[in-house]
Structure formats: structure tokens, C-alpha cells
Amino acid sequence: MLGLDEQGISGISADEMGLGKTLQTIAFCAHLRHERRSTRPFLVVCPLSVLHNWVEEFKRFALKVGFCLLY
């Protein structure tokens, strides 16, 4: 993700289930927010069935990133 961002390229994380997409994405957002001082918003689109998991993972690993829940 960092490599794509450094080149100004967007991407989609489409790995198989269970390979850590959620945590990898949260870590990427935290890195951009704190190391690069990015103020741009991040958009995570996910099925309603895993929305609670995303919220809990953000609270657990990157609470300081901040998030707004829309559904």
C-alpha cells in the first residue's frame, strides 16, 4: 500500500479472507495520519456484516486515527 501511495496510485486490497486486510489497512491509515501528517480522509467500504469488526479493530489498533461510522 505504501508503495502505491508513494507513486500516487490507488489500489484495492482484494486478498483471500483471513490474510489481514483489515489490520493492514488500519496500519496504513495510521502511518499516513501520524508519520506523514496526512489530513485527508480515508474511506473504507465494507459489507454491513463486518462493519462491527472494522470499528472494533480501529478502536483496538488505531484509536487516534479517528473514524466516522456511516451506514
Helix (H) or strand (E) holding 23: helix 21-34
Over 90: is that where the pLDDT of 56 sits?
A: yes
52 in helix, strand or coil? Answer: helix
State pLDDT tens for residues 17-46. Answer: 899 999 999 999 999 898 888 888 888 888
**Contacts of residue 57, Cβ cutoff 8 Å, sequence gap at least 6:** 22, 23, 26
What pLDDT does residue 26 have? 94
Mean pLDDT confidence for 50-62: 92
- Residue 11's region, left for phi above 0, alpha for psi from -120 to 50, else beta, is beta
Over 90: is that where the pLDDT of 49 sits?
A: yes
- Which DSSP state fits 49? G
Task: Identify the band that residue 52 occupies on the pLDDT scale cut at 50, 70 and 90.
Answer: very high
